[in-house]
Structure formats: structure tokens, C-alpha cells
Amino acid sequence: MIDKIKKANHIVFLTGYEISAYSNFPDIRKSTYMIHDFYIQKPEEFFTYLRTEVVNRYYVPNIIHQFIAKLQIEKDVTVITENVDGLHKKAGSMNCIELYGSIEENICQSCFKEYSANTILYSKNRPTCSCKGFIKPSITLSGEPVNGEKVMEAVNALLVADLLIIVGSNLSIHPTPYLLQFYHGNNIITLNNSTHNLEDLFKDLYEKI
């Protein structure tokens, strides 16, 4: 794997939930709260769930996030992630496409002013903007379309990639299977917990680059 990384000119990491699990981030996709209709019909319950079960916990990047961020210093590396924890960016990854948004980014639905996760954490009810508009996390809820601009960014990265490394994803979440058709290289590495202990693997890799 190290040899392939050293030889590659344009690397894409496609990362999924197994990476988040190493940082103890909950699998919120399985939650009935993270559905568009629930958000519309019961917004206060939606934000109570986010506030108490997600945002109030302290998550830090693990060795996998750190390895990818370190590699970006030396190589042309793009991260395409299915995760919404924001940990790739916290680790220092600059070229990171968060397909489904991030809990770290919250946007007023009226004036589009941006707010941090602390706005959710310290709000008592449904968070509102200074313009009186409602604030919503940038994450894509079940039943909502994926951000088209981010999909196109991912497509463009895959089109020029000569190495694709899939880490911790079962490739079942839309639009990931669709995106793979835009990778035309012949080097694909797939790493997940069913075949590797990812933390141990990346600790070893981290020391070799």
C-alpha cells in the first residue's frame, strides 16, 4: 500500500462510518430522528436529540484522520467522506468533500448566515438566527437530496485520480456507488474492519510516511 501511495500522483480517499466509530461518533444514520419529515414535523425533538446525543460529546480525530491529513502535506490527496462528524477537517485536511455536510456547520434557512455547532449545543429550543430565521445543520437528512455541487466536486476528483483508497465504507449509501463509475484508474485499495484492524493498520502506515 505504501508503495502505491508513493507512486501515485492524485490520490482519493473515500471514507465511511467505520472511521467515525473509532472516534466514538454515533451512527446517526440509523436514528429515526435524522429524517427530513421528522425534522419538519417535530423540530424541537430533533434538536433535543442533536443537542443531547450528538453535539454535547467531545470527538477527536483518530489515527486514520491524522494519517490522511499528514499525507496531504506531501501528496495531492482529496478526501471524499460520507461522514458528518467534521473530524477530517479537525485533523487538518483541507481538501475535503463532505458529501452529507457536517454537524460543525449550521445555516440559517432565511439569510444563510453560518453558525457553529455551539449554536445547537447552547440553544434551549429550536435555534433561530438574528434575522429570526430557523437554523438547520448542513447535514443531509434521510429524504433530502445530496448537495449537487459536492457531488460534482467528488466526480472531478475521481476523474483525475490514479489511486482510490476506500476506508471504512460498505459503498451502500447513495451516491457513493454512482460516484465509483467516474474513477478510471486501475488501482483501488479497500480497507474495512471485516478484513483489517484499521487503527493498527494506520498506526503502522503513519510511521512509514
**Per-run averaged pLDDT (10 residues), the chain, 209 residues:** 94 97 93 96 96 92 97 96 97 96 96 96 93 96 96 98 96 91 95 89 90
What is the spatial distance between Cα 189 and Cα 162, in angstroms, rounded to a whole number? 11
Closest Cα to residue 205, out of 186, 194, 193, 191? 191
pLDDT confidence of residue 196: 86
pLDDT confidence of residue 195: 84
Cell of 37: 419529515
Sign of the Cα torsion 140, 19, 25, 104 reads negative
What is the spatial distance between Cα 142 and Cα 33, in angstroms, rounded to a whole number? 9
101: CB partners within 8 A, 6+ apart: 84, 137, 138, 139, 140, 147
Sign of the Cα torsion 144, 149, 154, 156 reads positive
Question: In this structure, which amino acid lies at residue 125?
Answer: N
pLDDT confidence of residue 178: 93
Closest Cα to residue 167, out of 75, 102, 79? 79
pLDDT confidence of residue 54: 94
Which phi and psi (to 5°) does residue 78 adopt?
-115, 135
pLDDT confidence of residue 194: 83
* DSSP E strand stretches across 38-152: 76-81, 96-98, 106-108, 114-115, 135-137
